[in-house]
Amino acid sequence: MKDLRGVSSEFLRSLWYKNEPVCVLCSEGDGPICPICTENYLHPELGRCLGCGKLIPIDLLQCQDCEAGKGPKQLDKVVAWGHYYGGLKEFIQNVKFNAHPNYIGQIIKPFSEWAISQLPAVDGVVAVPMHATKLGERGFNQAEVIASALHWELGLPILQGVKRIETRVSQVLLSRKERLQNLRGVFAVPNPEDYSGRSVWLVDDVTTTGATLEAVAEVLRGSGVRTIYGLCLAAGREKKLVPSSE
Amino acid sequence: MLFFLTINKNGIVSYFPHLERDKQGSDVSLLTTPLPLAVIEEIQDQLHRRKLLDMWNFGKNKNTKLEIIRLLNDICGDTLHFSWEQIQANTLSHQGRFEEEVKDEIGVRFNQIVLGRQISIRDFRGLARELKILEERVIELAHRNVVQGKAQWVPSVKQHGRGWQCQRCGQEDVEEWPSLYGTAATCRGCQSIGVSTSLDVLYRDQRLLIESPREVIFLPHWDLTEAQRLASVQVLNYIQEASEGRALLWAACGAGKTEVCFPSAAWALKQGKSVLFAAPRQDVIYDIMPRLKRDFPKYPLQVLTGESSVKFQSGGLVLATTHQVLRFWRAFDIIFMDEMDAFPYQGSKALDWGLEHALRQGGKILYLTATPSPEGLKLVKQGKMRLIQLPARHHRKPLPIPVWLKSAYSLEPNCNGCTEEVVLQIRTLRREGPVLVFVPKISWVGSWIKSLRQYFPDWKVDGSYSSDLGRAQKIKRLIRGEFDLFVSTTILERGVTLPGIQVVVLGADHSIFDERALVQMAGRVGRTQECPGGGVIYISKQISPAMKTAVRWIKDQNRRAMELGLLDQQEGRRNLERSQRSL
Ligand SMILES: [Zn+2]
Ligand SMILES: [Zn+2]
Ligand SMILES: [Zn+2]
């Protein structure tokens, strides 16, 4: 690494990241994330499913789906920072649908600190690519913004070159099986030699079934990537844990 | 949208949009990672500066490719990995392909539509759908125009001094965020017509809106009144000869200011000039549209309203909301800007910037208003803006002058403001016609309806405000004359014509009522031939400066109309007598 990097990253960081005096998720408690929101959305007391990143009881290794072999297979481990729910869900939706990529700066410090506590160091960060049409509507790819922020925060290089070839039906309304089918052949790596033998963090904003991460991981594996860790801002929570939904 | 950077044998840096590689030309080195235009421009700029420096240093020959990678690492902060690729010779040369004129039907149609436009990639997507072709094809057609010097790509948000500036709306207050290409910025000023970021581009077509003058049939379906004719001559004179780039048409409420511009528009179109009628709000546009269509039969009229969807039409006469004006670039010779003091145009730097930049160099803007802003009047005083007046209504009767009724009590709800005196005044007004009662705040509406219903049990009394769900329905009934008394916030201030209506403004000294609102409310009265007169009463504890100014403006209009002989004699005299008794 160049010595300069520390300096320039520190300097650039000061442009985006103000110290957050109030909690980013609830605007009430102390910033950047207050103890109550930490408890409600980040759940440090829960474990993460190794297969798909879902929030699960601390004594388990995998969620029921992954246990039953229905989860992603290409990833070495997946972790999600918090539960895609309430304040964290609103925050992510505000970033995406109200076009506020700058808000990522407000959470990147606690998020990146958490990420290095959960995942081993790697050769670089890969953002899940977005199709050009959606990119045009939104003006930015939130996964890319998170990856860039991680780069500035932790000095990890960004690995580019995964392409999204076409848009399929939006994932939201599909079943798990349909989701995996729906994503076949959507991603490609034109220059596999850039990836051969590398280890990466594969970054996205939200994961529900892990299908998107799996589809990208598949082409990364095909390009010779050695180790792939999935990293997301938020994921679902094992249903069994929520009494009201039973 | 991203572009591919290339260098040719002579070290010239150029770029082209994302296209299939085999169609590209020969003998160039290509950077395999596509980049935002803002980054490419930054590199071109830096290389140019270094070249100048190198000339001083007696031309140390540097490796441009290495230089570019170094610059990129600087700009993007080592985020990306870059490499070069040599493009092999091909049957079609890159430049050659883009220099050819398009002759196919779609290409020709595309070129008619984009004339004078400023188009975002998102808008191009809409255009591709409309033309039923691929987005890549649209981008290719656009880039062809850029190569041929007919258009330009510009970063949507651009570095500007030490900060940023949106190239669509001029906004400098942007939101910064981390991107693969260093700090990026998003504009919030014009987001209602789609996102604008520093990673994206705008297409600016630099051709005129009309390629050649075409036949203009102007068939006005009305006779201008004397007042309108006088103003119309002055407008034409301004359009044809004046040196000032801006003029203000200050018209009495209900004097018919829009039609006054039609003869000038006809003249300009016949000269092959392009004309824009702009207004801040959709309802004004839909009010003007049928009149333009009727008086300019067969001439293609482009109508653009709605905040997000874009309809592509062609022709030199455009009618658009001020938001849509952001989709044109130096396209118009003449702009008629109606209701300049209305929301959302008034006070919006973005829309004002858009209007200025939709005008061709040396073009002219005529602002139309019944209630000019202080800034507008200041420009008139400084001699930077020509003033044209239209002081009289078509029926040759003077504007009703507001009368002040001093109230001993506050008129806020539950302050005993509904006195015998107020009730008596309203009862007297009702003999002339239905009474419209304006209040400054929504919270006043309900309680005043209640009080007034108690005093007038036999009357139909109701009211409304902007967020009232039944508003549209009630206003329809109001126009049909179904109410004796109607209480409202300023939603009815503009546009609506209510035959025989009389006006009361409660709490006229409230800070929410500036002189313009007060003039507009008074201007509801006496708009029709059948009921050209009527009463306006301002009720308040004090006389505010705004009330004084409003009355002065109305009196000035009447006096001027008198001087020009635009009022019927008898009426004029009575009006003067009356004005001595008022404020
Ligand atoms: Zn909180
Ligand atoms: Zn799982
Ligand atoms: Zn803007």
Q: What is the ipTM of this complex?
A: 0.76
Interval B24-49: pLDDT, tens? 555 778 888 889 999 999 999 888 88
Distance between Cα A38 and ligand 1 center (Å): 7
Question: What pLDDT is attached to residue B197?
Answer: 93
Superfamily per CATH, domain B226-390: P-loop containing nucleotide triphosphate hydrolases (3.40.50.300)
Q: Which long-range contacts (CB under 8 A, 24 or more apart) does B426-430 make?
A: B426/B452, B426/B456, B426/B485, B426/B504, B427/B456, B428/B535, B429/B502, B429/B504, B429/B535, B429/B537, B430/B459, B430/B484, B430/B485, B430/B502
Distance between Cα A233 and ligand 2 center (Å): 16
Closest CB from B80, B178, B191 relative to A16: B178
Domain spans of chain A?
Answer: 9-69+76-241
Which residues, 6 or more positions from B303, have their beta carbon under 8 angstroms from its beta carbon?
A: B285, B289, B311, B313, B318, B319, B320
pLDDT range class, residue B396, cuts 50, 70, 90: confident
Q: Which of A151, A191, A193 to mutate to test the interface with B (most CBs of B within 10 A)?
A: A151
B180, pLDDT greater than 70? yes
pLDDT range class, residue A184, cuts 50, 70, 90: low
- A9-69+76-241 — its CATH code? 3.40.50
Bigger pLDDT: A53 vs A186: A53
Relative to the alpha carbon of B187, which ligand is closest? 3
Tell me whether residues A158 and B79 touch, CB distance under 8 A: yes
Topology of domain B403-581, CATH:
Rossmann fold (3.40.50)
Tell me whether residues A158 and B179 touch, CB distance under 8 A: no
Residue B534 backbone class (left: φ over 0; alpha: ψ -120 to 50; beta: rest): left
Which residues, 6 or more positions from B281, have their beta carbon under 8 angstroms from its beta carbon?
A: B321, B339, B342, B343, B344
Residue B65 backbone class (left: φ over 0; alpha: ψ -120 to 50; beta: rest): alpha
Tell me whether residues B177 and A136 touch, CB distance under 8 A: no
Domain spans of chain B?
Answer: 2-92, 105-205, 226-390, 403-581
Write down the mean pLDDT value for chain B.
Answer: 84
CB count in 10 Å sphere of residue A229: 22
Question: What pLDDT is attached to residue B579?
Answer: 53
Question: What pLDDT is attached to residue A182?
Answer: 60
Going by the DSSP 8-state scheme, the letter that residue B40 receives in this structure is H
Interval A73-118: pLDDT, tens? 999 999 999 999 999 999 999 999 888 998 998 899 999 999 999 9
Question: What pLDDT is attached to residue B98?
Answer: 67
Domains B226-390 and B403-581 share a fold: yes
How, if at all, do strands B301-304 and B435-438 pair? unpaired
Q: Which of A18, A106, A126, A148 to mutate to test the interface with B (most CBs of B within 10 A)?
A: A148
Relative to the alpha carbon of A22, which ligand is closest? 1
Residue in A closest to B1 by C-alpha:
A136
Write down the mean pLDDT value for chain A.
Answer: 83
